[in-house]
Amino acid sequence: MAVLRDRPYTQFNFLVDLGTGTTDGPEAGFQEVSGIGMEVTVTEYRNGNERENSVRKITGLNKATDITLKRGIIGSLGLYKWLDQIRNGDQNAMRTVTIHLQNEDHTQTVQTWKLLRARIIKHTSGPLNAKGTDVAMEEMVLAYERLEME
C-alpha cells in the first residue's frame, strides 16, 4: 500500500521479487530497475459530416512498457533457466514480478509495482574487459502485460 508523505522517497532502497516469493539474497539483488510504466492509447476519429473541425479521442488499448533490470554477475543460472523455459514455449513460464520501494531505514514498503504475466525477452552479459576494474554485469529486459500499483 502506498504511503503518502510531503518529501519524496529516495530511489535506492528497493526489493525485487522475480515471482519466486523471495527478495533476499544475491539472486534478488539488483543495482538498477528502469522503465516501469504504462500508457493508454487513443484513437482519433471524426465523422465526415461533423460540424466541428476536430477529432474525437477514443480510449484504446493500454500498454505496459518493457523494464530493464541490472545486477552484477553472481554465477547464478536462475535467470537463464527462466529464459530457457520461455524460449522453449513453457506456458507456465510467465510470472508476477513485484518491485517494492522501501523507506530510508528499510522498515516499511512505501510503494509496490506488480508486473503481471512478465517474461524475459532479452538477457545480456558484459561487457567483459581484461583491463577494466568494473563489476561484470548482466542485464535483462522484461515484457509484461499489465502494471498494478499499490
Produce one character per residue of 49-83: b if its CB has 16 or more CB atoms within 10 Å, e if not.
eeeeeeeeeeeeeeebeebbbebeeeeeeebeebb
Residues 6 or more apart whose CB falls under 8 angstroms from that of 79 comprise 18, 120, 123, 138, 140
Q: Per-domain residue ranges for the chain?
A: 14-38+64-149
Average pLDDT over residues 116-142: 95
Answer yes or no: are the C-beta atoms of 147 and 115 closer than 8 Å: yes
Query: How does pLDDT run across 113-123, given as a tens digit for each residue?
Result: 999 999 999 99
Band of the pLDDT at 133, cuts 50, 70, 90?
A: very high
Report the amino acid identity of residue 2: A
Q: What is the per-residue pLDDT across 16-31, written as a single tens digit (0 to 9) for each?
A: 999 999 999 888 999 9
pLDDT of residue 142: 98
Percentage of the chain surpassing pLDDT 70? 100
Name the residue type at position 40: V
pLDDT over threshold 90, residue 1: no
pLDDT of residue 66: 98
pLDDT, average across residues 133-143? 96
Computed over every residue of the chain, the mean pLDDT equals 95
Q: Minimal CA–CA distance to 30: which of 47, 18, 43?
A: 18
pLDDT bracket for residue 147 (50, 70, 90): very high
Task: Please name the residue that has the C-alpha cell 522453449.
Answer: 88
Q: Are 123 and 83 in contact (CB under 8 A)?
A: yes
pLDDT score of 93 more than 90:
yes
